[in-house]
A and B are shown apart, each in its own frame.
Chain A
């Protein structure tokens, strides 16, 4: 790795960290569990590295390690996304919130604070 690629990579890292901080601090506590399983699925992106290792045939050991890594990270990606979807489908708005008078204003407030 030359110093140029390192510096470019550090830029990417720093900007991603900054952006991550901005985006993630806006996630309400309500969705912290889905957030964790979603970021977990996304970090399964190490799959990209594993795929090359498993397919390039550098040597037998690398292929075995790569294969195991592909298996592990695919489990992570698929499992993570499936379960995040499943969780998010459960979060529902109150169906008849409008039917009770005097309640709607308060409910709205709560929601906005949540979001």
Chain B
């Protein structure tokens, strides 16, 4: 009877998780979907607490309470701009939990597991371990604790591959010759190290792909746990997470026109810097704030194109203010969002939503590109590579073929930029030298706030 109740709660949880994710297909149904998923999780936990094997609740309750407190604090107070870091950190937590459960199972049976269980357990522990350290490093890079530039050395890929091969070698050995505790822990240790090595050569601009991949690994680690514990809800939830991350990473790669291998092993953003510096294609034209304010105030349509610079400058509220001022004057305001703008999938959308920008004003790449020729002013805020016309025009460019927001087709372009330096990838951006382009240097938030005042006085 008890077993039926537990299994029933798991079945219900699985169904509710799927319905919850289905709700995410539209902003209007998303909230309800999440409530279903939350309820599902609660059911699964209650079901598990009925488990006959449980003899003491002390540690369970302590863990649940402590975890809830920290989780609640993180959930309530983390600012939206820090969303990528928080997500990276929670990937680490999730993967670590999966790894620990695996280690505990191995330890409990003294390493003497059947072939099939050991195979699943190996996957669980390896994926869990490498995701933990990989996510922690991603977190450190995103938080600025570690420099975001790719860290490379000679023979890096060969060394990484050798390490991975050794780890897998030990794994295969353990499947057929079970029982060696030492080898198992060596394997776990190597997997932890491999996670660091995997993320080390990846630059901050490629973070959307890495975040998605780590998301996928964390999910697959959970699914593997399901195989070890013969628990279907773990398999289902883990697989959903794994596939979601996998789909996202493919979408992100496509949005940069790069292959997964190139992102993972290409160390993009370090090689490009070796370009000779003398390749200037003209001069950048600096424009005055007042001129831009007049242009915007009398425009029919203004399109804002945000990038990671908007997040670092915390400028999303100022953007919204400017948009409001313009809309009051009858100007149509839209936002063009590139899939890889920012540091994680959908990063810009969340920031703008936080600043109360209605989601119906946010346009995807394919939707907004045909509109640029009829746009009077395109405002680029802290974005660089995603508006680089070289991707379209210059087949020799390292980012050739990457879909871009074609702001250079607009009647006039304003670029808000911190300084005259190059963007993250170190590439020259011909957009800045075009005749239609005017540059406004300075802190984006500051500039935008001044623009609001200037537009009001036009």
Q: Could you tell me which A residues sit within 8 Å of B by CB distance?
A: 1, 3, 5-6, 9, 12-13, 16-17, 19-21, 23-59, 61-63, 65-95, 97, 103, 107, 110-111, 113-115
Cβ-defined contact, A40 with B227, below 8 A: no
Inter-chain residue pair count (beta carbon < 8 A)? 387
Interface of B is mostly: helix
How far is A88 from B79 in the complex, measured between Cα atoms in Å?
14
* Closest Cβ–Cβ distance, residue B221 to chain A (whole Å): 8
In the complex, which residues 66-99 of chain B have their Cβ closer than 8 Å to any Cβ of chain A? 66-68, 70-72, 74-76, 78, 80, 83, 86-87, 90-91, 93-94, 96-98
CB < 8 Å: which of A23, A31, A54, A74 contacts B59? Answer: A54
Cβ-defined contact, A39 with B345, below 8 A: no
B447 lies within 8 A of chain A by Cβ: no
Q: Could you tell me which B residues sit within 8 Å of A by CB distance?
A: 10, 13, 17-18, 20-22, 24-28, 30-31, 34, 37-38, 41, 44-45, 48-49, 51, 53-57, 59-60, 62-64, 66-68, 70-72, 74-76, 78, 80, 83, 86-87, 90-91, 93-94, 96-98, 100-101, 103-105, 107-108, 114, 116-117, 120, 211-212, 215, 218-219, 221-223, 225-245, 247-248, 251, 332, 337, 339, 344-347, 349-350, 353-354, 356, 358-364, 367
CB < 8 Å: which of A23, A49, A79, A85 contacts B22? Answer: A23
How far is A28 from B23 in the complex, measured between Cα atoms in Å?
11
Interface of A is mostly: helix
How far is A86 from B82 in the complex, measured between Cα atoms in Å?
14
Cβ-defined contact, B236 with A37, below 8 A: no
Write out the residue numbers on chain A whose beta carbons fall within 8 Å of the beta carbon of B235.
9, 12-13, 16
* Closest Cβ–Cβ distance, residue B392 to chain A (whole Å): 20
Write out the residue numbers on chain A whose beta carbons fall within 8 Å of the beta carbon of B91.
40
How far is A36 from B350 in the complex, measured between Cα atoms in Å?
12
Write out the residue numbers on chain B whose beta carbons fall within 8 Å of the beta carbon of A46.
94, 97-98, 101, 221-222, 225, 234, 238
CB < 8 Å: which of A3, A24, A33 contacts B243? Answer: A24
* Closest Cβ–Cβ distance, residue A13 to chain B (whole Å): 5
How far is A51 from B83 in the complex, measured between Cα atoms in Å?
28
Write out the residue numbers on chain B whose beta carbons fall within 8 Å of the beta carbon of A90.
80, 350, 353-354, 356
* Closest Cβ–Cβ distance, residue A54 to chain B (whole Å): 5
